[in-house]
Structure 1
Amino acid sequence: MVVGASVDTIIRRGSLDGLPCHWLPAAPALQFSADPFGIWRNGLLHVFVETFDYRSAHGAIAVHVLDASLRVLETREVLREPWHVSYPLLVEHDGATWMIPETSASGGQWLYRARAFPFEWERVGRIDLPALDATPQWIGDRWWMFYSPAGTPRERLTHLHAAWAPDLTGPWTPHRANPLRIDPRGVRPAGPVVHIDGQIVLPVQDCTHSYGCAIRLLSIERIDETGLVASERGLLRPPAAAAPFLDGLHTLSGAGPVTLIDVKQRLFSAPALFMRPRRELARILARMSPNRLK
């Protein structure tokens, strides 16, 4: 969903209600789209999303190209790997466009660079961190990356880690005080870092009732090699305009004058339920596959 307000405006008002909302194309049956991240180029908004297929238990990355009136001009898959790929966070750095999707099923975290934006991407380096939803940002005199560890199911949601590097390509040094924050409600990154009113704000998932049911705004007062000092700034829930998709708000991603979010509705699906054993088998085979990169 594209919200007609900047992410700064949303954070200041502390709510998504009352803002104009525009739906992106719906996913086909037995699929869903999530994790939207966007960049404007030449008057066009490029929205990259995870597309998950219940039949294969794999996610891939697609892009929607929208004009200034938010009309979809083209949709195309741009990244598919032998493993699950999601959270296509984008970074513009050093004259190039980079993508740091979640690729833990491959056995590592990978960095991609646009060979021909927005449709062609190449894998250019490995980040040696067990990172989920890695979210990098230049803060002070170095790059900082916030992420959740690829540990137990509980740690994946409730532990926040960080690492630092002199350059986006590394080398990355895990913070010696990891985990920097533990919160039973959830603290997994949920979108790019936002600089607003002299503060650094990190959206994180609130998983109190279910995975990604809302977004909490974590105001980072200090991050350095000694530790993290942060406080909560607010909680964002799905806007009323998202009805009936009011069961979750999973991503908050600014793109200039608009903001990208994903919302969800929890429904019973017999076909999806019957595919669960197949999905679990696919995950086991993926972990055993020689295609996993070391």
Structure 2
Amino acid sequence: MLRIGILTDGEQLSAWAFEMLSKIQEEGYGEIVLIIENQTPKSSGKKSPLLYRLYRAIDRRLFRTKQDAFSLKKISDLPNFTAQKMEIWPVQKKYTDDISSTDLDSLRTWDLDIIIRLGFRILKGEILRLPKYGVWSYHHGDNRVNRGGPPCFWEVMKGEETTGSILQILSEKLDDGQVIYRSWSHTDPLSVQRNANRVFWKSCYFAPRMIKKLSFLGEQRWKEEIQRLQDSPGDYTANMYRPPNGGVMFALWVKLWVNNGLRIVKEYAKKPHWEIFISSKSNKVEVKHSDEALHSALKPIKNSILASNFTPLISTNTSRYYADPFVVERDAKTYLFFEDYDKKSQKARISFAEWKGSQLDQVCPIIEESWHLSYPFIWEYEGDFYLIPESAEAGHLYLYKAESFPNKWVNVGVWFEGEAYDPTVHYQDDKYWLFVNQKSHQACSSFDELYLYYSDTFLNPTWVCHPMNPIVSDVRNARPAGKIFANGKLLIRPAQDSGKFYGHRIKLQSITALSKDEYQEETVDMLESDFSPTIIGTHTINSSENYLVLDGYSRL
């Protein structure tokens, strides 16, 4: 078990940090043996400008959240807390807290594997090399985009699509250490408080995950794993940000409210609408595998999609819309299954309709529950069809079997326990692999993190959590966007890119490693929403032998 020390500025911690330490204790891969408490904590810089402080106070009040990541808790209230406390009076300079040689000698006797920094100011010198695996520290921002602070502030003010967050092993240079975890979330367009609350809650699981990976993989494989996260050699050139002065803050504040006012008016005037598009593969160029580099291997698919003659399946009932299409061909007939959404109740059922080659037949509801249903994933097993719709609102995944395909389905029972968004099944190496998005914390977004489970059986499965979970932590390519498919030697997982907004576009992820203890993928291409002039987004793609289906997002 790894021995862990915690750097703090006192007895109290923010709720997100308390949750992080609780998770470390709960999982049992690391033991918190020492609290290293700063007895003379100081601010890391001069007092922030008045207008900035006023804005933050108003923002916190207006956008107060029930699950506040920054509420205070006592570290001694941790479950099964047995750690010893070591009091330190650091040698304080203008921006740094230096640890004396006497205190360093005392720390060495604890034989710490990891120190997690939750207090003190900038650290330099021998303390950074004292624990076996370094001093771990959070930076709530993408250090390739901005360094310094305030956390999660400039992304909102500058209208950036995503807000990054990292866990790094500290080095002598500020925000330039070895990154061991990266993640991205959609930036809240209106509130720094809400933006920071989501990011901090999500980031609290980074350290427990990396401790678990280190224990599971061993030192050598763990180092190889984190090496893949490193950028090209050289210093980061991102700007060093600080709280804005009064004039800049006033301009930012005005711009924020004007932009959001215009956005809200536009969204109120034009409501979101989804529709389904279908194209015959007879219109497509032949797809052949190329031995070129992976980044160009999918160009034939992308080009053929863009060249396709897509037919929009527009509902005459404007109170509903259709999305998440899945297509099945059987007995010389083509059926589309999809989310059938009622705009008034804001709840969806699963419906189907037959595609007649030039038009869609009558839409028939087939599954309706008291909870919202979407993403009707279809799977054929031993001659029977099964449907696994998203039912995250219910807190379970249910399996439905076709008693009479395609119009009569029965609920077989709970197939997966727990919240699961856009469930996607893949069979490989005698195992069933289940890809689902899940929230690491209920205050977080369902778009950010992809989890993987596997089972030896399809019916009555026993799901095993993949040790690398979440296998993706990036709003730009986490959430599933349709069935996994093969393209030559490539195995492609369609993924939603919701960095700009929900349903922006689809990324094509090449799965390069899939086993019980390893998962890797990389982006090889992306599908924009330019297959129709009225569409501004797309988030599901599926195909059958003769047809390709997509959905499209617009504002009517």
**Is the TM-score greater than 0.5?**
yes
1:77 aligned onto 2:353:
no
Superposed CA deviations along residues 264-290 of structure 1, whole A, max 9, x for unmatched, are 1134xxxxxxxxxxxxxxxxxxxxxxx
1:94-243 matches, within 5 Å, as: 94-126=382-414, 127-151=416-440, 152=442, 154-169=444-459, 170-240=461-531, 242-243=532-533
1:177-233 C-alpha deviation (Å, 9 max, x unpaired): 210111142410000000121221100000121101100001001111212111111
Q: 1:60 to 1:153 in 2, by over 3 A?
A: farther
1:71 CA drift (Å)? 2.8
Alpha-carbon distance change, 260 to 231 in structure 1, aligned in 2, over 3 angstroms: same
Which residue number in structure 1 is paired with residue 534 of structure 2? 244
Number of positions where the alignment pairs a residue of Structure 1 with one of Structure 2: 264
Residues 240-279 of structure 1 aligned to structure 2 (within 5 Å): 240=531, 242-245=532-535, 247-267=536-556
Specify the alignment match of 1:284 in structure 2: none
The answer as to 2:377 corresponding to 1:89 is yes
Asked whether 1:54 is paired with 2:349, we answer no
Does the alignment pair 1:4 with 2:280?
yes
SS in 1 for 2:446: helix
What is the alpha-carbon distance in structure 1 between the residues aligned to residue 308 and residue 299 of structure 2? 13
The answer to whether the 8 Å contact 1:158/1:183 transfers is yes
**CA distance in 2 between partners of 1:210 and 1:52 (Å):** 19
Tell me the SS of whatever aligns to 2:281: coil
Verify the 8 A CA contact 2:329 2:335 in the aligned structure 1: yes
C-alpha distance in 2 between matches for 1:153 and 1:258: 39
Change (3 A) 1:209 1:125: same
Q: Letter of the 1:75 partner, please give it.
A: V
Distance 1:159 1:120 in 2: 34
Output one character per residue of 1:133-159: Cα deviation in whole Å (capped at 9) or x when no partner. 010010122110111014546441121
Query: What is the rounded CA distance, in whole Å, between the counterparts of 1:35 and 1:226 in structure 2?
Result: 31
Contact 1:50 1:62 (C-alpha < 8 Å) held by counterparts: yes
Show the counterpart of 2:307: 18
Task: Please state how far the C-alpha of 1:103 moved relative to its aligned partner.
Answer: 0.6
Q: Which residues of structure 1 form unaligned runs of 5+?
A: 268-294
Cα distance in 2 between the residues matched to 1:52 and 1:66:
19
Q: Matches of 2:316 and 2:480 in 1, distance apart? A: 24
Structure with the bigger percentage of strand: 1
Distance 1:162 1:87 in 2: 17
Aligned pair in 2 of structure 1 residues 146, 261: CA closer, same or farther (>3 Å)? same
Whichever structure has more helix as a proportion of its residues is 2
Q: Partners in 2 of 1:27 and 1:60 — Cα distance?
A: 18
Q: CA RMSD in A?
A: 1.9
Q: 1:219 to 1:22 in 2, by over 3 A?
A: same
Residues in 1 aligned to 2:316 and 2:418: alpha-carbon distance in whole angstroms: 31
- Unpaired stretches in structure 2, ≥5 consecutive residues: 1-276, 288-297
Secondary structure of 2:371's counterpart equals coil
CA radius of gyration, larger in: 2
Q: Give the % identical residues.
A: 25
Q: Report the AA paired with residue 140 of structure 1.
A: D
Amino acid at match of 2:451: H
Higher relative contact order (CA 8 A, sep 6+): 1
Aligned to 2:171: none
1:77-129 Cα distance to aligned partner (Å, 9 max, x none): 11111110000010111111010100111121111110111111111021124
